[in-house]
Amino acid sequence: MSFRWSIAVFCFLTLFDAARTSSGSFRQLPSSRINPGFPVPINTNDPGVRKAARDGVYKYNNSSNDIFLFKESCINKAMVQVVRGLKYNLHVDIARTVCTKREHPSLDRCHFQKQKKLRQKFRCYFEVWLTPWLQKTEVLVSHCQ
């Protein structure tokens, strides 16, 4: 099988799997807009986008000296690109939670800070590369300000 044919099959299978909804049915993808290598906008509520945003937040938390964990408060913009996997480009707002790093709870159970003195928010840009067949996720860029 040639390299080009392998790439074409991979792209088809990736898009085929991306079209599947949680109920097992399929949704229509905007096929005229999807070209391998070109980033396209994607719904910020897409499960892949939410997972990529969470991976970006984990990277931020692991590199931060803050005693509290942060989690995504709003995904403002999301793009996806088919490049030997899926590369997500995300603009995300993150905010400090009440959970400390020592507790190691699930971020889903962490509520945002309510105390005015402890509230803190950042705007972040994450690039997250997902390689599903290797079950590998890599945060290429994590920039917050």
pLDDT tens, per residue, the chain with 145 residues: 443 434 444 444 454 444 444 444 444 444 445 567 789 999 999 999 999 999 999 999 999 999 999 999 999 999 999 999 999 999 999 999 999 998 877 899 999 999 999 999 999 999 999 999 999 999 999 999 9
E-state strands within 8-135: 40-41, 68-82, 86-100, 121-131
Prediction pTM value: 0.74
Burial of 122 (0-12, 13-18, 19+ CB in 10 A): middle
Instruction: Dump pLDDT digits (tens) for 39-48.
Output: 999 999 999 9
Separation between Cα atoms, residue 110 and residue 93, nearest integer Å? 16
Q: Work out whether the CA dihedral 4, 86, 25, 31 comes out positive or negative.
A: negative
Residue with tokens 């390689």: 131
Token pair for 115 = 């105390």
Residue with tokens 């991976």: 55
Which of 3.10.20.30, 3.10.450.10, 3.40.1000.10, 3.40.190.10 would CATH assign to domain 33-144? 3.10.450.10
Instruction: For residue 142, give the nearest of 76, 58, 79 by alpha carbon.
Output: 58
**pLDDT in the model for residue 58:** 96
Please compute, for residue 32, the number of CA atoms within 13 A of its CA located in the half-sphere on the CB side: 0
Separation between Cα atoms, residue 72 and residue 50, nearest integer Å? 9
**pLDDT in the model for residue 35:** 65
**pLDDT in the model for residue 106:** 86
Token pair for 53 = 């945003």
Name the DSSP class of 116: T
Separation between Cα atoms, residue 62 and residue 41, nearest integer Å? 28
Instruction: Dump pLDDT digits (tens) for 111-131.
Output: 999 999 999 999 999 999 999
